[in-house]
Structure 1
Amino acid sequence: MNRDEALNAMSSDVPAERLESARYLQFWAIPADIPQLRSFLQAESVGWISRSLKSALARLGDAPEQEIDLEDYLQDDGTQSQEVSALARARIARTVVHELEPIVGAIQYYASREVTDYSSSRTASQVNRMARLLRAIETLGRVSGTPRIQKFDLATLIAKLVEAEQVAAEIVMKVEGPGRLILSSDPDLIELVLGNALRNAAEAINEVLSHGSVAVVYGGTDRDFWVTISDNGKGLPTGSSERLFDVGTSTKEGHLGMGLALSIEATRTLGGKLRLSGTAQGARFEMNVPDGVI
């Protein structure tokens, strides 16, 4: 996409196309585009697109960042919207990573030289755990930000994830759904959520069974799409399904407890819902996400 194409696409009736164009103009618009950007902003009704246009104008010096009306970000009852909360979490995560990353790197460097047999030491284990947590926080910032909406084939994405997990876990996963399902969403966030769910299902089976099974069923309508992943593994601890979505909660020894928390945050960013439940034989993961720009 170039600047002229982005300006032309702002007249599209498809919100996803306008969002892509607005994000391009956010960084590449020039002062001569200001009148058109103002016109686009006045006519725009989608929040994400409006904010990208405001950011473009602010970068060009036409409207300072502080002039953006905060009322746009509030619900009718005056409480913060989920969108503002997500943006705040993303900003905090980026700040934490920026401050801690060099510190963790320095600890790894000096510990590897000062601790005898560092690679097999408990010090290395804990430092590596801290580094993984930092990467998880970085991912949290990513999934809490603005979704990168684009068209993709959910069937192809699921097939890729299933194939990779089958090889890694040495199990067979059954997949049921249309051979092609084109939708508009953020494929990276969807991949993060489904990849984590498939990995959890595979691990649950391998802990208790030599020949367990995982079933993946998916579909969609003109408004949304859904994916269900069921396994006959060890299931969930009694009363734990809601708590498992909290940061730091895990049923697996040595895990950070970030996977499900990141999944729920990613799905929330896309305007969707997750449900995790125990069944008579194993566990069931359900995801439902709107098709299109949130």
Structure 2
Amino acid sequence: MSSIDSVLRRLRSENPSERLEAARFLANNARAAHAKSIREALAKETVVWVRGALQRALERCAPAQTMSSPSEVDQDDFTADFAAQVHAEALETTTAQLLHEVEPLVGSLKLAAQGDIANYETSLTKTVIDRLDSLLEALARLRRAASAPRMEEFDLSVFLDELLAEFDPRPPIVVQRVGPDHLILIGDKTLLRMCVLNGLRNAVDATLALADGVEQAPLTLAWGSTNKEAWVSIVDLGIGFAGSIQRAFDIGTTTKEGHLGMGLAITQQSMKSMSGRVLLVPNKRGTRFELRWPIGREA
């Protein structure tokens, strides 16, 4: 950014990514003279990530004044948003550092093993290295989930149609689609793609566990919106969910052999990034997996 004036102008941008860039710059460079502009921007800001950076910028301007002015900043909101921002940034930084160090080592290990081990393609070594690769891919998705969302306007019905065309669950699974056409809203398509695909894969696995000899095993993919939220729901008639719903979102929790247990944790972090949530609801038969996030404002 060329000047502080251009930074302050970007705080009024309609593009949340530009506002976030400006707010993060001010979090490291703000001075007392900028406090008024930052407060004005904070009063209008709805995006969690931008609010967190603006609050840190205010602290840099005048720490004592910032913390003693509850009339200008909602302190309860400050605490929740700030904690979420710090946690997400720490998660993103940690996974980035880990990937930077470990990915080259795994790549070198794979090359060495291919040259040193006879029948490498059928060896236990390849199985273990492939599992390491899967772990690194999951960590990369977790890092993406923890980063600031890239919000854009899109048609949810078209988005889901394109995702299903790519997913192709194959018989006996049949996906029944229920939702309005041309539902325009705001969200991060990359994060939503990870979340919906995870929900579909889990639903397929649960359904196939009961679908032996069945000609058709239906899943229901539904979507819609209220005056406050958009939602996507995936309902299966599979084996259902056993265990603690709360613990299901912890990293490493899984009932599937050979799985890393990171899918729901990544989904939860992705939805938090958009100020949304993920619900896992056991039914009498099967499970409902639901994503919800705000609409009518930029998350």
Q: Shorter-chain-normalised TM-score: which range?
A: 0.7 to 0.9
Is the aligned partner of 1:193 residue 2:190? no
Show the counterpart of 1:22.
19
**By how many angstroms is 1:40 displaced?**
5.4
From 86, 96, 102, give the equivalent of 1:94: 96
Is the aligned partner of 1:216 residue 2:221? yes
Uncovered stretches (5+) of structure 1, i.e. residues with no partner: 29-33, 56-62
Show the counterpart of 1:48.
49
- Residue deviations 1:224-259 (CA, integer Å, cap 9, x gap): 11121111111112x233222111112221111111
Q: Which amino acid aligns with 1:225?
A: A
Show the counterpart of 1:163.
165
**By how many angstroms is 1:262 displaced?**
0.5
After superposition, the Cα gap between the structure-2 partners of 1:78 and 1:26, relative to the gap in structure 1 and judged at 3 Å, is closer
After superposition, the Cα gap between the structure-2 partners of 1:168 and 1:27, relative to the gap in structure 1 and judged at 3 Å, is farther
**By how many angstroms is 1:101 displaced?**
0.9
Where does 1:1-294 land on structure 2 (aligned, <5 Å)? 11=12, 17-23=14-20, 41-45=38-42, 46=45, 48-49=49-50, 67=60, 76=76, 81-168=83-170, 171-209=173-211, 210=214, 211-237=216-242, 239-291=243-295, 292-294=297-299
Equivalent residue of 1:81, what SS?
Answer: helix
Q: Which amino acid aligns with 1:242?
A: Q
Q: Percent identity?
A: 30
Alpha-carbon distance in 1 for matches of 2:275, 2:52? 18
Alpha-carbon distance in 2 for matches of 1:171, 1:68? 58
- Residue deviations 1:86-141 (CA, integer Å, cap 9, x gap): 11111111111111111111111111111111111111111110111011112111
Answer whether contact 1:153 1:180 (CA < 8 A) is retained: yes
After superposition, the Cα gap between the structure-2 partners of 1:68 and 1:288, relative to the gap in structure 1 and judged at 3 Å, is farther
Uncovered stretches (5+) of structure 2, i.e. residues with no partner: 1-5, 26-30, 68-73
Answer whether contact 2:252 2:262 (CA < 8 A) is retained: yes
When normalised by structure 1's length, the TM-score is 0.79
Show the counterpart of 1:60.
none
